[in-house]
Amino acid sequence: MSVENQFSQYAKDYNNFNIIQQLAAKALVRDVKNTPQTILEIGCGSGQVFKYVNWHFEKYIAVDFSSNMCNLHPKNQNLEVYCFDFDSEEFFSFLEGKHFDNIFSSSAMQWSKDLPKLLENLSKTTKKIDAVLFTSNTFKSIQNITGTKSPILCSEEIKEAFNKYFKCDFEVHNYNLEFDNKKDLFDYIKKSGVSGNKASLDFKNAKKLYKEYKLNYLEFEVIFVNAVSKL
């Protein structure tokens, strides 16, 4: 299953399972030092960042590649929601000639197929990005048991990509999310949107994981990025 299809399939459940994403979104907006008037959000999902924006703005453009997520996003007279793959040439063409005071992105840019290229295009439209990304250390114990590789970048790869176009401050944080039983834990993996196209293990690995995963929690690692244009 593709990442896009997974997000679309579980869109209605997403708000019940994206606990870590909501914490990250809240922290992201809380740490914004100004009140930008023109905003672009990359990977808006069902509005977990937008709901924390508590100041008046002139224009807010929110982008997500799941039409189901876009349909769930809150509405506002100064808000425009677009269904774009943020790695696509269509999206890069959409950005041409536009300028934003700030770009927000929470728990989304780690899915970029070419993060340096995405950031190069974004650097032409803004002097400021505030973002939080999951890193490859998320679900680390699961990867160790199943022998699978994370589909997302490690923190060093993320730092390298951002540093190419911006002056950056980085903070890495680790979280553990506890569960009462294995069923709830595995439901979270499937429906949270953190695991992407790795959500569906083959039967052998799924059986092995259910038998050998002894922890009552899931591990998450996120990196907060405060990026300012070098220009």
Q: Answer yes or no: is pLDDT of 9 > 50.
A: no
| CATH number of 3-138+151-176+219-229, picked from 3.40.190.290, 3.30.1360.120, 3.40.50.150, 1.10.8.870 | 3.40.50.150
Pairing of β 217-229 and β 166-178:
antiparallel
Q: Which two tokens stand for residue 183?
A: 């069923």
CA 119 to chain centre: 14
Q: What backbone phi and psi angles, to 5 degrees, belong to 64?
A: -150, 150
Q: Answer yes or no: is pLDDT of 5 > 50.
A: no
Q: What backbone phi and psi angles, to 5 degrees, belong to 63?
A: -125, 135
Please state, in angstroms and as integers, the Cα–Cα distance from residue 193 to each residue in 17, 78, 79, following that order: 8, 28, 24
Q: Answer yes or no: is pLDDT of 202 > 90.
A: no
What is the per-residue pLDDT across 102-160, written as a single tens digit (0 to 9) for each?
999 999 999 999 999 999 999 999 999 999 999 999 999 999 998 888 989 999 999 99
Q: Which two tokens stand for residue 85?
A: 């793959």
Q: Of residues 225 and 148, which shows the higher confidence score?
A: 225
Domain range summary for the chain, segments of one domain joined by +: 3-138+151-176+219-229
Looking at residue 81, its pLDDT comes to: 97
**Of all helices (H) and strands (E), which one includes residue 102?**
strand 102-106
For residue 116, give the 3-state DSSP assignment.
Answer: helix
Upper half-sphere CA count for residue 5 (Cβ side, 13 Å): 6
Q: Which two tokens stand for residue 115?
A: 């993060």
Looking at residue 160, its pLDDT comes to: 98
Q: Of residues 6 and 100, which shows the higher confidence score?
A: 100
Q: Answer yes or no: is pLDDT of 197 > 70.
A: no
| Pairwise CA distance, residues 118 & 121, whole Å | 5
- Residue percentage of the chain with pLDDT more than 70: 88
